[in-house]
Structure 1
């Protein structure tokens, strides 16, 4: 059984959220259960609407304060056992991704890259050699991404992350460390964004390697276009979360006792996968 966990915070409006909830419900079958973690707060109309869903699909989360995707996901993780696929509300998951998750073994950890669509481009063909053409339809590719399939264990999200950013990186690294698939090093302190995925450095490059096989096999999710929120709020949240993330990584490095110096590697491990043909050409988006 595959449990697809989707946090729903309604910050883009109730109708927007419900439309995508009904769309994702189409993924459910005898082998797949979709779990929406929602916080309806005091909205009685929303509570009534949510009652239209099967009780097994809705996990009511009660907390005050701002948007906290970590809390939403943790409510859902505590409700399920076995195989989990984490997904966001505005992501399109091809059937091939679901099938790959169902075939996965207990010890597998799967990460799926995700292309971000421009307005009206969510159905455009990805199979082109020309990066210029791809950029007309897609802004970038998220690799590493937060779309992951794994066997649930005791690791939960850190609810100290509020708003947008870094809670996924934090969870993924701690999960991979717990199953002996990731070694914390000084390179994890390198927190640099990039114009193209192929230039990823630091922890982003290390995590991206977990998505390469899925990329090579064309198992790619699509992020539906939507308007961006307030830039000032986004930047403030992300900067605050980045500071929290760095402190935690520093603590993990100290505890690991495996680093020999403070030297930071600045390698580009994804460049070895450069290929001008689909789908590895997407690394150059």
Structure 2
């Protein structure tokens, strides 16, 4: 998205789908779902929440809130009992979509309708098959500033590029925020519900979507799952998918992720994540063909893109900062002290 952007007056032909499961941090998720619904009503955005009802008082509270909403719909049922299955919940939500386009969102996101309008426009007008947006994760301090109105999304963006630390955790590139045609979702048969628990169902979906439109490259290091703080130091499949987000990175456009306490990481959590990774590798083993790129990161391509667009690399210095996120990622003295005492 460079040059003069195409704009939309409304989002009437777009539906957002959001999975909800209150197995963990129920109070936090209910509050965020309510806030997202309020924002959707305000901006007339169709949004479908798919809710796995575990029969708790929080589940009841959630269902009661959505009994009288115009643009927000709650699809609720006892769809499964054990580990969270976000893939299944997304597919259930999609079955209720009646518009031609959709956007995949998570309940922890700050609903930015201006950003949706900007990146929905080229998809709606046939200039792009789909758009994947980066996501900037806020710390507790940054989240409080945004929710209270002390800072706006634009102000926080400016703080990020000024190397402020206390408001931010990391930048996810890519994220699972995807604007696309409903017809593509159907042709891909949606998300793979064999991915259970946390991890890789979104990467699996993005790879299938990008492959459908011949927009992803193969490489021998494709299954490298090394993570990096900087979006430009991504490797493996994160590099190949991250390449699809270079335009919003250059435009400095991100969705903001509201802070939440870390979900308990049980032995089952780790075993399911490992299982999901193995399934991911099995499903996409054909992506490891070809030759290893000369630059196994996105740095060269990002710099070349900036030069071709007449952009100054100095405006994006924060993207090149790849110091491991240790003490500076803790936004209060108490959390820093707790980290140092471990």
- TM-score category, normalised to shorter length: 0.7 to 0.9
Deviation at 1:38, TM superposition (A): 0.8
1:75 aligns with 2:92: yes
1:196 aligns with 2:230: yes
Gap regions ≥5 residues in structure 1: none
RMSD, aligned α-carbons: 2.7
1:139 aligns with 2:169: yes
> Which protein shows a greater Rg?
2
Whether contact under 8 Å (2:40, 2:71) holds in the other structure is no
What is the 5 A alignment of 1:229-268? 229-233=263-267, 234-250=269-285, 252-253=286-287, 259=289, 264-265=292-293, 267-268=295-296
Farther-moved stretch of structure 1 (89-98 vs 57-66): 57-66
Structure 1 pair 73–270 and aligned structure 2 pair: CA distance change class (3 A): same
Whether contact under 8 Å (2:133, 2:177) holds in the other structure is yes
- 1:277 alignment partner, one of 293, 308, 315: 315
Q: Secondary structure at the match of 2:164?
A: helix
CA distance in 2, matches of 1:42, 1:271: 48
What is the 5 A alignment of 1:112-151? 112-122=133-143, 123=146, 125-128=156-159, 133-151=163-181
Deviation at 1:149, TM superposition (A): 0.7
Deviation at 1:92, TM superposition (A): 1.0
Whether contact under 8 Å (2:171, 2:231) holds in the other structure is yes
CA distance in 1, matches of 2:14, 2:40: 11
Structure 1 pair 56–136 and aligned structure 2 pair: CA distance change class (3 A): closer
Count of aligned positions: 276
Q: TM-score, normalised by structure 2?
A: 0.72
Whether contact under 8 Å (2:23, 2:54) holds in the other structure is no
Deviation at 1:67, TM superposition (A): 0.7
CA displacement, residues 149-175 of structure 1 (integer Å, 9 cap, x when unaligned): 111222111111111111100001011
Gap regions ≥5 residues in structure 2: 1-12, 304-312, 323-342
CA displacement, residues 162-211 of structure 1 (integer Å, 9 cap, x when unaligned): 11111100001011112232244434222222243221111101111111
Deviation at 1:282, TM superposition (A): 3.8
Q: Secondary structure at the match of 2:53?
A: coil
What is the 5 A alignment of 1:1-285? 1-25=13-37, 26-28=39-41, 32-43=45-56, 45-46=60-61, 47-54=63-70, 57-64=73-80, 65-80=82-97, 81-105=99-123, 106=126, 107-122=128-143, 123=146, 125-128=156-159, 133-152=163-182, 153=184, 154-155=187-188, 156-233=190-267, 234-250=269-285, 252-253=286-287, 259=289, 264-265=292-293, 267-272=295-300, 273=302, 275-278=313-316, 281-282=318-319, 284=321
Whether contact under 8 Å (2:88, 2:191) holds in the other structure is yes
CA distance in 2, matches of 1:159, 1:276: 43
CA distance in 2, matches of 1:246, 1:39: 28
Deviation at 1:277, TM superposition (A): 1.8
Q: Which structure shows the bigger proportion of residues in helix conformation?
A: 2
Aligned to 2:338: none
Whether contact under 8 Å (2:22, 2:54) holds in the other structure is no
